Amino acid sequence: MAQRSQYWSCTPFADWIRGTPKGAAKTDRGWREWRKQSKVLHPVRFWIAEEALDAVQNFLWWPVDRIYDVKYYVNNRFVTRTHCLTADPRDIKPGQWRDLGYRFLPCLFNELVDFVELELAWHTVAWDHETQKKFNPPFYAWGWFRWRTWRSAEAGLDYLRWASELRHNDEWDDPDSEHYNKPTRQAVCAQEIMDLYHWWKHVRPMRIDPHAASGWSSYCSRLRESDDGLFGNLGNDDETPEQREKVRRMLEESNRLEEQYEQEDEDMMIRLIRVRRSLWT
């Protein structure tokens, strides 16, 4: 169904017909109590506001819904390509071969970046005029003209920062509950998404190459500049025990760092998989 700016059953006109205002967001229990109370007070008016208005709107909007169906098919098929996992050209250059095991990490985390900077950015400005003013998205970022190409890291992170502050309060829990004033599941997941996003965007790119950190790269560079070259010097019988020990330590340090990076990548992928059910808008 097409995205609509407002359903008629959620308008002040529907509140007037129903005789009981819908109000703001509620818990599942809150909505059940509201529906029960509204039906008891004005059963016919409730049916007109909740059922009849939606039926009339669906009938009148049928042509617009079909246009939106085509638009979103084209968008999903050729623009956002939500049927694919893709890697950013900075991580895997187009045409460059990568074995499957080395495609998982960049594809998964590039999709996470798009989720934050495209999907959550849109979600931030789609429903609130104040955030629209704050981030000033272009006309094609929301509403009728929306194409999922507007990118705003700050808008996406703004939503996550808001969500990470959600707490169990009087609306959700009894003050005597063990969960009272603790982060909600949405808050915990939002914080985890922010942490994973920050790691991929800002922490991982700052890694020092293991060969450079261990001194192996500079050692090999010096050998290349010598008369015998790199391969003429490696494993040379003229090496002293001290030189061999130095080479051994450099290679061990390089291998240690490589294993540390691999383990960190694996741990982060596992964390991303565990939070996957919260990656939706």
DSSP string, the chain: ----S--GGGSHHHHHHHSS---S---HHHHHHHHHHHHHH-HHHHHIIIIIHHHHHHHHTHHHHHHHHHHHHHIIIIIS-TT-----TTTS-TT----GGGTHHHHHHHHHHHIIIIIIHHHHHHS-HHHHHHH---GGGSGGG--TT---HHHHHHHHHHHHT-B--TTTS-TTSTTTTSBPHHHHHHHHHHHHHHIIIIIGGGPPPHHHHHTHHHHHHHHHHSTTHHHHHTT-TT--HHHHHHHHHHHHHHHHHHHHHHHHHHHHHHHHHHTGGG---
Ranges of each domain in the chain? 1-79, 207-272
pLDDT tens digit string along 144-156?
667 778 999 999 9
* pTM for the full predicted model: 0.78
pLDDT tens digit string along 32-86?
888 999 999 999 999 999 999 999 999 998 998 888 888 878 888 888 888 888 8
